[in-house]
Structure 1
């Protein structure tokens, strides 16, 4: 039995969409379809019913789910048990990760620590890097992987493992007249003083682009590199800020209110590496760890 087929099957039970599952595994829709059909033939069981271009789990498919999860879990444990005998284990390996400064806001240190416990023979070299430099470091081979915020990505050159998504929000003083709104249009804030993260982050240029689309030029009263400083200024009524919701939420700063913006643009927080490159064993271990972790969520 092919392990990958079980991975495709479990993902498809969540997406019910061949294209979306294919994107998760950086393969094609037709390949996912072929692998699912091959799994059905191997098990002599119809796993999905296909009617009117929609797919649904059959009773056989529902029965397979816990067994597939158990097999993948056992396979992961088997890989870990055999690790001391793996030829790659004979020499200590180094995994170099470049990460944006807000990684702690998304509990990435906890994820990396979990990996370190599973693969203690892999030494870690983690460096904070500003968003505008991070892909250059990856291209130059200065790191094996990058943890970064994505708004778009050249998927012909890079592959990614998305950890979570985040959305634009207005950060207002608690006593602001609009603080009790459930959602805001950016144009409602055009007369405000904006306190923003600076040009070393992707957000600065994106913020200006969003303002251009709303036909106003923002009055920027402060730019800096530290979110907490900006939140402190906002809480004291010096101005407001446009940031990513979850990045701010993790600070639990008193005196501010986070109001979502009615903006369709969202960001992904993802690990990225070069596509079709020769990766180190350490990089491949981490990539496989991420894949298994995300599937188990």
Structure 2
């Protein structure tokens, strides 16, 4: 054990002093347990076993934490090619426990800062602060979404001022798409008539399909297949957003770095992923 007898004796004396109880009998150069020592022995053995179990569980927890990857993303992530990276990553690294959840805008940043997410996928209109590492994966742009029967549906491009008399059906503030649209309208000199705002793209498309209003949404975030009476048209003044994976520079796990490297190595051919 590489411990001298003197050191052992010192520890025993310190233990007995702390417990105010004699645990060992020292007679005729022999050391035996006293009655109190025999009473304490199984409890002491249990404490040592419990401590070892605690250390083992903590080590396993730390190992599992390193092999767990929590990703949160905007609900429309499936509309972008980078969504294919997640199943591909799971196939390449089956021992990584990947969990996925949806969130919006600031909720994603909060999840990252509070370590409820290791990596997030979100839409950016402006650069993030320096504490974040960003992998740019795609771009998207605002388009006008309107009924086929609308007079403007025949135009190749639409000026936002031409929509000032139409009822707007918009995604709400949490999606981070609401404020940029309001800013565009105000810059054009009018306040849009908002008759609906919410979080569901399919509901807005269904409302437009029923000729209940118009919308401005991101082009790649929607599929018009089930809405035959809806068309989209580009805005005359293009406003784009960037889709990106984001992680904190001060948060490091094995799984996080594996996924980050995987994204860089397996980028979609038509949407190269670049580090900002």
TM-score by length of 2: 0.71
What are the within-5 Å matches in structure 2 for residues 29-178 of structure 1? Answer: 93-178=67-152
Q: State the distance in 2 between where 1:278 and 1:99 align.
A: 18
Q: State the distance in 2 between where 1:91 and 1:207 align.
A: 40
- Residues 259-285 of structure 1 show CA distances to partners (whole Å, capped at 9, x for unaligned) of 01123431111111112x141010000
Counterpart in the other structure of 2:236: 262
Q: State the distance in 2 between where 1:251 and 1:289 align.
A: 32
Q: CA deviation at 1:118?
A: 0.7
Q: State the distance in 2 between where 1:289 and 1:158 align.
A: 18
Secondary structure, aligned partner of 1:238: coil
Q: State the distance in 2 between where 1:244 and 1:94 align.
A: 32
Larger Rg: 2
Q: State the distance in 1 between where 2:268 and 2:197 align.
A: 39
- Residues 147-181 of structure 1 show CA distances to partners (whole Å, capped at 9, x for unaligned) of 11111122512121122100000001011111121
More deviation, 149-158/205-214: 149-158
| CA RMSD, Structure 1 to Structure 2 (Å) | 2.1
Structure 2: gaps of 5 or more residues: 1-61, 271-276
Q: State the distance in 2 between where 1:176 and 1:117 align.
A: 47
Question: Contact 2:66/2:253 (CA < 8 Å) preserved in 1?
Answer: no
Counterpart in the other structure of 1:238: 212
Structure of higher RCO (CA pairs closer than 8 Å, 6+ residues apart) = 2
Q: CA deviation at 1:231?
A: 0.2
- Residues 83-113 of structure 1 show CA distances to partners (whole Å, capped at 9, x for unaligned) of xxxxx99997100011111111214442200
Identify which of 222, 243, 261 aligns with 1:288: 261
Q: State the distance in 2 between where 1:202 and 1:103 align.
A: 15
Alpha-carbon distance change, 283 to 120 in structure 1, aligned in 2, over 3 angstroms:
same
Secondary structure, aligned partner of 2:70: strand
Q: State the distance in 1 between where 2:200 and 2:225 align.
A: 12
Counterpart in the other structure of 2:153: 179
Counterpart in the other structure of 1:3: none
Secondary structure, aligned partner of 2:152: coil
Alpha-carbon distance change, 269 to 240 in structure 1, aligned in 2, over 3 angstroms:
same
Q: State the distance in 1 between where 2:267 and 2:223 align.
A: 22
- Residues 26-82 of structure 1 show CA distances to partners (whole Å, capped at 9, x for unaligned) of xxxxxxxxxxxxxxxxxxxxxxxxxxxxxxxxxxxxxxxxxxxxxxxxxxxxxxxxx
Segments ≥4 residues shifted beyond 6 Å: 88-92
Q: State the distance in 2 between where 1:184 and 1:265 align.
A: 13
Q: CA deviation at 1:200?
A: 1.6
Secondary structure, aligned partner of 1:179: helix
Counterpart in the other structure of 1:221: 195
Structure 1: gaps of 5 or more residues: 1-87
Aligned residues: 209
Alpha-carbon distance change, 112 to 131 in structure 1, aligned in 2, over 3 angstroms:
same
Q: CA deviation at 1:291?
A: 0.7
Q: CA deviation at 1:251?
A: 5.5
Question: Contact 1:96/1:125 (CA < 8 Å) preserved in 2?
Answer: yes
Q: State the distance in 2 between where 1:261 and 1:132 align.
A: 27
TM-score by length of 1: 0.66
